[in-house]
């Protein structure tokens, strides 16, 4: 009789036990890993542009710790993201550019080392991803995607009609282009199609596939995942695409700004006078006339319009990130989820007469980086120490208590998260492709190009990097302190056995041969 009573009690209580278990999130912390493509310091919290309206990102920064001097390891999507996710510097791997080359050399470069999501997955986490996490989406390695992620979100489908506006620009995730196509092609013709993404435009919903930008679908998918029951701790990567070019977004985000009041970066006419030839070649950009020349000559207002478009896209992506952050705050996971916000690199909007990332100056390398670590980070704190996006991998392993990954080039930020007043000695090493380096410390930026030419800037009095101190007296010790962090031998691009030069070198050779450095770069 007693056994029967016990059995009845168990049957009655079992649903309640299951319900209580289902309501309790896993005890190990979750990770919400939010990336925003091409976001420079134009947010309210970072203060790079006082016009920027980013209430959701600013709120997150107030809830945790903001690293105000964070930098990428290379200012281009493919190299930066593979560096972050592998935890290895481009000067270690030789992964400077081509995704196809990275796929071919993956085994050779990675060996037994694992990408960040795989390390979490192999240590008991459910891993989820949507959007642009790697360069090409949730993975740059199709045959390894299942090694990285348990669950992945949808891609973006764009009709042929809408794709035609992009004139063959690759990657549907970046669409749609402006209603009438790129202003660059409209003004200069099809021969400028190689740089046609340098354009902007407000979109009505009928101009957008099924009325929704990809970032809106990304946010919806992430929100849905946060509303579900997860029986294991999760690592969720949410990769937003904007403000990557083209600078298009729904019209309501352009309406947040007044075009007539937009302020463009202040750029002196002689900005490039003290820049070495390799720096000038980098600044030249993609368009056949040079990017800056094309922008300022398209119309008297096009520079302002481009800034307008970028700011609208920043506010648009802020709103999408806000949806995800609000969903987390309303979920059962709110008190046990680490949130990290990062961008893969910055973006020039005319500074140094440059219009891309792909450079070694502050605007290209400096990024927002914020952590909210329940029970560890303190609300409203900041650290001005120079830190690297390479530090993401070891930091997340550290705060989640995972086994260490031995072959990492970064170092954990946990000591700084716990105590933002702490300091660290090591500066940030940054590449721009093969043999070109910048070293960013707390107060200085030192650049050395592969031809031996140099730049040096004192950020205590020259945050816009307008005065190159190379050749001036009194800086030998500073140069020596920074140059010692540059590798003694340049790592050849993975899969190569020699260096034969590239487009930057060929441009310089042509300029020297016919004395044709453009006037606007002198």
User: Contact, 61 vs 339, CB < 8 A?
Assistant: no
User: Contact, 420 vs 464, CB < 8 A?
Assistant: no
> Is residue 293 annotated as a catalytic residue, yes or no?
no
Q: Whole-angstrom Cα distance, residue 13 to residue 7?
A: 10
Q: Whole-angstrom Cα distance, residue 142 to residue 233?
A: 25
Q: Is 373 helix (H, G, I), strand (E, B) or coil?
A: coil
From the candidates 71, 89, 119, 135, give the one annotated as an active-site residue: 135
Total residues found in the chain within this entry: 522
The count of other CB atoms within 10 Å of the CB of residue 268 is 10
User: Contact, 250 vs 316, CB < 8 A?
Assistant: yes
From the candidates 61, 72, 77, 400, give the one annotated as an active-site residue: 77
* Residue 109 token pair: 């470069």
> Is residue 135 annotated as a catalytic residue, yes or no?
yes
| Strand order across the beta sheet in which 454-458 lies | 428-431, 437-440, 444-448, 454-458
Which of 223, 221, 235 is closest to 128 using CA atoms? 235
User: Contact, 215 vs 34, CB < 8 A?
Assistant: no
Q: Which residues contact 49 (CB under 8 A, 6 or more apart)?
A: 41, 42, 263, 311
Which of 492, 317, 316, 433 is closest to 73 using CA atoms? 433
Q: Whole-angstrom Cα distance, residue 119 to residue 131?
A: 20
User: Contact, 133 vs 80, CB < 8 A?
Assistant: no
The upper half-sphere exposure of residue 361, i.e. CA atoms within 13 Å in the direction of its Cβ, equals 29
User: Contact, 280 vs 272, CB < 8 A?
Assistant: yes
Q: Is 23 helix (H, G, I), strand (E, B) or coil?
A: helix
Which of 118, 86, 119, 126 is closest to 105 using CA atoms? 86
CA dihedral 47, 48, 52, 58 (to 10 degrees): -40
Q: Whole-angstrom Cα distance, residue 138 to residue 470?
A: 42
Exposure string of 129-145, with b = 16+ CB inside 10 Å and e = fewer, is bbbbbbbbbbbbbeeeb
Active site residues: 77, 135
């Amino acid at each position: 009789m007693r056994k029967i009573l016990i059995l009845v009690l168990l049957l009655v209580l079992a649903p309640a036990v299951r319900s209580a278990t289902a309501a309790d999130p896993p005890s190990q912390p979750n990770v919400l890993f939010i990336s925003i493509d091409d976001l420079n310091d134009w947010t309210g919290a970072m203060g790079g542009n006082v016009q920027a309206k980013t209430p959701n990102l600013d709120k997150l920064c107030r809830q945790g710790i903001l690293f105000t001097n964070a930098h990428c390891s290379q200012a281009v999507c493919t190299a930066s993201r593979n560096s972050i996710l592998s935890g290895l510097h481009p000067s270690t791997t030789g992964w400077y550019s081509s995704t196809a080359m990275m796929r071919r050399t993956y085994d050779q470069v990675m060996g037994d080392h694992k990408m960040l999501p795989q390390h979490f997955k192999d240590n008991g986490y459910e891993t989820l991803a949507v959007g642009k996490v790697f360069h090409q989406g949730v993975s740059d390695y199709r045959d390894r995607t299942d090694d990285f992620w348990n669950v992945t979100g949808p891609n973006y489908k764009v009709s042929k009609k809408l794709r035609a506006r992009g004139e063959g620009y690759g990657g549907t995730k970046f669409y749609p282009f402006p209603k009438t196509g790129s202003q660059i092609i409209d003004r200069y013709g099809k021969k400028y199609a190689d740089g046609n993404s340098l354009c902007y435009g407000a979109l009505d919903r009928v101009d957008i596939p099924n009325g929704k930008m990809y970032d809106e679908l990304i946010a919806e998918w992430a929100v849905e995942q946060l509303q579900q029951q997860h029986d294991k701790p999760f690592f969720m990567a949410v990769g937003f695409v904007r403000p990557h070019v083209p600078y298009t977004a729904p019209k309501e985000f352009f309406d947040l700004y007044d075009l007539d009041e937009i302020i463009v970066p202040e750029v002196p006419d002689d900005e490039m006078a003290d820049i070495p030839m390799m720096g000038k070649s980098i600044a030249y950009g993609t368009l056949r006339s040079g990017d800056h020349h094309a922008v300022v000559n398209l119309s008297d207002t096009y520079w302002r319009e481009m800034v307008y478009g970028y700011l609208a896209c920043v506010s648009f992506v802020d709103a999408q990130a806000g949806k995800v952050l609000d969903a987390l705050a309303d979920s059962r996971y709110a008190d046990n989820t680490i949130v990290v916000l990062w961008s893969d690199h910055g973006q020039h909007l005319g500074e140094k007469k440059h219009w891309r990332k792909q450079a070694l100056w502050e605007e290209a390398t400096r990024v927002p980086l914020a952590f909210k670590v329940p029970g560890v980070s303190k609300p409203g704190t900041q650290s001005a120490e120079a830190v690297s996006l390479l530090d993401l991998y070891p930091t997340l392993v550290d705060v989640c208590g995972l086994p260490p990954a031995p072959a990492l080039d970064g170092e954990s930020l946990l000591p700084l998260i716990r105590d933002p007043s702490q300091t660290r000695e090591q500066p940030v090493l940054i590449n721009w492709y093969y043999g070109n380096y910048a070293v960013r410390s707390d107060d200085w930026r030192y650049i050395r190009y592969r031809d031996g030419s140099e730049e040096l800037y004192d950020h205590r009095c020259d945050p816009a990097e307008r005065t190159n101190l190379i050749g001036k007296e009194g800086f030998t010790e500073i140069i020596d302190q920074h140059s010692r962090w540059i590798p003694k031998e340049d790592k050849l691009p993975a899969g190569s056995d020699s260096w034969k030069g590239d487009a930057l070198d060929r441009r310089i050779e042509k300029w020297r041969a016919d004395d044709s450095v453009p006037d606007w770069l002198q």
